[in-house]
A and B are shown apart, each in its own frame.
Chain A
């Protein structure tokens, strides 16, 4: 009897967890796939009626608004950020993992502190710097800001991965006639590839999800990213929820798909060095 009670309690608890996690996402998708007329109905219809579901709103938003351009900007910024972060953090993670002495420790500590700094703080001075450098309004400004934000944590993750690779393997490569650079390029980096995948995913998500830097450094209107674009359908006079949710769905799908695909690496990378 007690067993059945415990099992029922467990089922209820898991149902509660799942509904809290999934309902807002379900509601977003449902609103995006419904015609406006159904969204405006009160009381709201919780369940989808299959006959009215369609990609109509999503297609309309791609056709009638600059959403396609926003998606292109989001993708460009995310890809460039990912490349930059992977290069910077792989090299630095290797250096921090293998180096001894005060300089490495100093840089590591600075990077650790930088990782915890509020990105908000950087917006204003970076705005001024990018203006002076003539970068304001272009995607490069957003890429650099995302790089500054993502590189410290990525470096921290990569150091953890290189720590797990015994230096003896590289020393063996040295004995076989590899130079130091060869040992890094042919041995250490390939072995750390799962870490690089985790870092790439992290950087891509940071850049794709960014709102603050894109909002501050890009002019807005048609020239901005999906996350900022989605908010542009809300005004004092009208809340176009169907369009907001259609763009939201577009902004969520790539990250959600990549996340589901690679979550094992990502979760592994995140918990590195905490246990």
Chain B
């Protein structure tokens, strides 16, 4: 017969064993790579140095180059423009769709499913489709604008600085709004209908009910999903890499793209890693704002 203490120790051992694979994954595939990034960023190292296992020289030159480089500051600005615009757009569209889909109408289940369908399209594929839509020769966007008489000649969108940014923002917003729809719809369904009815009895019109009943009920969800989406947009590489590669020139080159381009296009691993460390710091800073709230909902 085991004592109660012995049972508890066995249980603790089992739980520790259960946590082991996840701990290994985090340690080997997340923590170590982050450490390696910091280390690489402090060395002058090019891709072929690594492939030939050459010894590396310690240096802080990568950070000096990064801070003195116009491209870095432009990339920061592009990251802000891309992330804030695409998440803002996705949030608005997600909010509108969630409010609408929460009302009663025929075939509601099917319509709900259709509205979140873009989410099931792989990000790369979504970007390819938007690239085709924006094409300068065969693109549908040009056809629609021409037919509406808004433009006189087709525009090669992805070759113009401002239009290219607009297109990657649209493509990314299209792929990310269903996340808001799902989260906000779930939150809306948790709002007791009596609350709305009471407000209606008190004489509140639809806009007032939205402002004073619906919006406060959605605030937490909006903050958490908005924050997660912002992080996702900051780290997005696929959309931009596929559509413009950061171009034309460097009009759509975000921080995440600079990491990729420095490493895999210019083979400067050290400089790429330095950009990675800066991006990491930026994400940690952003996380600091929301981590407390997330941790609370995590531990319940």
- Chain A: residues with CB nearer than 8 A to chain B? 10, 13-14, 17-18, 20-22, 24-25, 27-28, 31, 39-40, 42-44, 46, 87-89, 91-92, 94-96, 98-99, 103-105, 107-114, 116-129, 131-132, 144-145, 147-148, 151-152, 155-156, 159, 163, 174, 179-181, 184, 205, 208-209, 211-212, 215-216, 227-228, 230-231, 234, 239, 241, 244-245, 248, 251-252, 255-256, 259-260, 263, 267, 270-271, 273-275
Contacts and interface: CB of A to CB of B under 8 A. Distances in A.
A137 to B, nearest CB: 12
B260 A123 contact: yes
A27 B178 CA distance: 19
Interface residues of B, number: 101
B14 A181 contact: yes
Nearest to A231: B242
Contacts of B111: 14, 17-18
Contacts of A263: 113, 116
Interface stretch (B57-65, B207-215, B275-283): B275-283
Contacts of B183: 270-271, 274
Contacts of B29: 122, 126, 144-145, 147-148
B50 A131 contact: yes
12 contacts: A14-B100, A20-B93, A24-B121, A91-B21, A112-B294, A116-B228, A156-B298, A180-B14, A184-B18, A209-B123, A216-B264, A274-B224
Given A27-B140, A271-B182, 19 more contacts: A17-B100, A31-B132, A91-B22, A92-B21, A96-B19, A98-B15, A99-B19, A103-B16, A117-B30, A122-B30, A123-B259, A125-B32, A151-B22, A180-B10, A211-B123, A256-B121, A267-B182, A271-B186, A275-B190
A128 B113 CA distance: 41
A17 B242 contact: no
Top 6 nearest A-B pairs (CB, nearest first) are: A118-B235, A92-B22, A148-B29, A125-B33, A209-B122, A259-B120
Given A118-B231, A256-B117, A227 B105 contact: no
B173 to A, nearest CB: 10
Contacts of A28: 125, 129, 132
A180 B190 contact: no
Given A148-B30, A151-B25, A255-B122, A248 B128 contact: yes
A259 B287 CA distance: 30
Interface stretch (B34-42, B161-169, B194-202): B34-42
B36 A25 contact: no
A116 B174 contact: no
B237 interface: yes
B120 to A, nearest CB: 4
A175 to B, nearest CB: 11
Contacts of A230: 124-125, 128
Given A121-B276, A180-B10, A88 B22 contact: yes
A211 B140 CA distance: 26
Contact of B280 (A88, A121, A205): A121
A245 B132 contact: yes
Contact of B11 (A20, A180, A212, A215): A180
Nearest to B140: A44
A232 to B, nearest CB: 11
Contacts of B53: 132
A126 B31 CA distance: 11
Interface in B206-232: 221, 224-225, 228, 231
Nearest to A101: B12
